[in-house]
Amino acid sequence: MKFPGKLILPSIFLVVIAALFGFGGSVAQAQTTPDLSDKYYRAKVVKILETGEKAVEDSQTLKYQKLELQILNGDEKGKRVIIDHGATFVVSDSQMAQEGEQVIIAKTPELPGGKSVYYITDKYRLNNLIAIVLIFFATAIYFARKRGVTSIIGMLFSVFIIFYYIIPSISKGANPFWVCLGGSVVILLVSLYFSHGFNKRTSLALVSSFISLGLAAIINILFVSIAKLSGNGTEEVFYLQFANSSIDMRGLLLGGIIIGVLGVLDDVTTAQTAVVEEISLANNSFGFQELYKRGLSVGREHISSLVNTLVLAYAGISLPLLLLYSSQKSQPIWMAVNSAFIAEEIVRTLVGSTVLVLAVPITTILAAWAYSRKNSLLLNR
């Protein structure tokens, strides 16, 4: 029977549109107090007026620069300002400004009896980031052709869901876990079909992904509860609590783990379904048991590499903080491992790894059942 792709496409967009109606309005609120936040501008380093080092306490010296900048955008476009960069805080060699480059500057609000102060917050790199993104898009499209284009569309849709549904909903006080879980369902539904096409293989991968995602939610809650985690293990969460006290930090941890699992889950289910289908095409006399056995043999190799990938990915992201913990010689190793931050990373890795391990046999069973039925029908003709 031919796969009913024409019926699935409208259904997908109906589900997505229905989900989008739940996104809610803007998270911005009318301001009732004067705006005391900094203003940010893009500026160009016109001239380096002075460069040197200043002595501070404990015989230390701090590098500094005196810079003339020209503002390039906003209500002060064209204005030139003189900025002291460094001297009162540490500036590394890579943070030193170069003549002609662009930087981001902030302007403090004017207070009664005072004046605004300008200071450099970061290098301006948006144009460079756009160039990198375009290189990635060009590479994907060149080598994957049509699949490259559709996978990019699926990726952009995922980003859209995260920034226009998940983040605003959580900011307005919705439960982060359920928001992330609902967003993940929509992301899987759309991105899988866009990336891999409207066919039986993708549908089997999608069903397997939904089952695995449900297991991920259960395992996630179980592991976080056993480890007694509250979601307050990182510095970012500490500041977030001051910015928005209505957010459930434990739910945010649970939701973040779900989003983290989602990306690799796509790879496991689609690859494993493809393996079983290719085995079935190579020998259409294989029944369910043979397809499952051979498919799982390949899947075991996939599991071993993916588990290692997850561990390395989380370690790479957390490397600065891991180094910070290791530098505290007065603290025993068991104290570092027991800390909320390290425990959260361990749980993230183990939830993801456990779900990926389970996703392989789940996908293999579904694919072996579907393609063994197809083989059976072909042989009986």
DSSP bridge partners of 41: 105
Residues 108, 230, single domain; the answer is no
Q: End of a domain among 75, 91, 124?
A: 124
Sheet strands (E) in the chain = 39-55, 61-71, 80-86, 102-107, 118-123
- The SS3 of residue 146 is helix
Residues 232, 345, single domain; the answer is yes
Q: Are 189 and 206 in contact (CB under 8 A)?
A: yes
Q: Are 47 and 19 in contact (CB under 8 A)?
A: no
Q: Are 69 and 87 in contact (CB under 8 A)?
A: no
With respect to residue 25, please indicate whether it lies within any of the assigned structural domains. no
Cα(226)–Cα(146) distance, rounded to whole angstroms? 45
Q: Structural domain tally of the chain?
A: 2
Cα(180)–Cα(171) distance, rounded to whole angstroms? 12
Residues 111, 229, single domain; the answer is no
Provide the 8-state DSSP code for 163: I
DSSP bridge partners of 65: 51, 85
With respect to residue 24, please indicate whether it lies within any of the assigned structural domains. no
Residue 341 corresponds to which tokens in the numbers above?
A: 């931050």
With respect to residue 5, please indicate whether it lies within any of the assigned structural domains. no
Provide the 8-state DSSP code for 109: P
Residues 164, 309, single domain; the answer is yes
Contacts of 45 (CB under 8 A, 6+ apart): 67, 68, 69, 97, 98, 99, 100, 101, 102, 103
The predicted structure's pLDDT at residue 26: 39
With respect to residue 65, please indicate whether it lies within any of the assigned structural domains. yes
Residues 311, 175, single domain; the answer is yes
With respect to residue 53, please indicate whether it lies within any of the assigned structural domains. yes
Cα(296)–Cα(298) distance, rounded to whole angstroms? 5
With respect to residue 283, please indicate whether it lies within any of the assigned structural domains. yes
Distances (CA, A) of 376 to 48, 285, 371: 78, 8, 8
With respect to residue 138, please indicate whether it lies within any of the assigned structural domains. no
What length is written for the chain?
A: 381
For residue 65, give the CATH number of its domain. 2.40.50
Residues 281, 350, single domain; the answer is yes
The predicted structure's pLDDT at residue 374: 67
For residue 317, give the CATH number of its domain. 1.20.1640
Residue 267 corresponds to which tokens in the numbers above?
A: 């790879």
Residues 55, 157, single domain; the answer is no
List strands edge to edge, sheet with 61-71. 80-86, 61-71, 39-55, 102-107, 118-123
Residues 219, 322, single domain; the answer is yes
Residues 76, 218, single domain; the answer is no
Residues 84, 164, single domain; the answer is no
Contacts of 337 (CB under 8 A, 6+ apart): 343, 346
The predicted structure's pLDDT at residue 11: 52
Query: Considering only CA atoms, which of 64, 72, 81 is closest in space to residue 116?
Result: 81
Cα(295)–Cα(292) distance, rounded to whole angstroms? 5
Residue 33 corresponds to which tokens in the numbers above?
A: 């107090």
Residue 58's region, left for phi above 0, alpha for psi from -120 to 50, else beta, is left
- The series of mean pLDDT values per 10 residues for the chain, 381 residues long, is 45 50 42 64 91 74 85 90 80 82 88 77 91 94 88 89 91 91 92 84 92 93 91 77 82 90 86 91 86 89 78 74 69 75 85 90 92 62 50
Q: Are 154 and 190 in contact (CB under 8 A)?
A: yes
Q: End of a domain among 124, 155, 180?
A: 124
Residues 192, 338, single domain; the answer is yes
The predicted structure's pLDDT at residue 31: 43
With respect to residue 225, please indicate whether it lies within any of the assigned structural domains. yes
Report the alpha-carbon angle 332-337-342, nearest 5.
135
Q: Are 16 and 32 in contact (CB under 8 A)?
A: no
Q: End of a domain among 69, 89, 124?
A: 124
Q: Which domain holds residue 261?
A: 146-379
Residues 116, 160, single domain; the answer is no
Whose tokens are 């089952």? That residue is 211
Q: CB-hemisphere CA count at 13 Å for 126?
A: 6
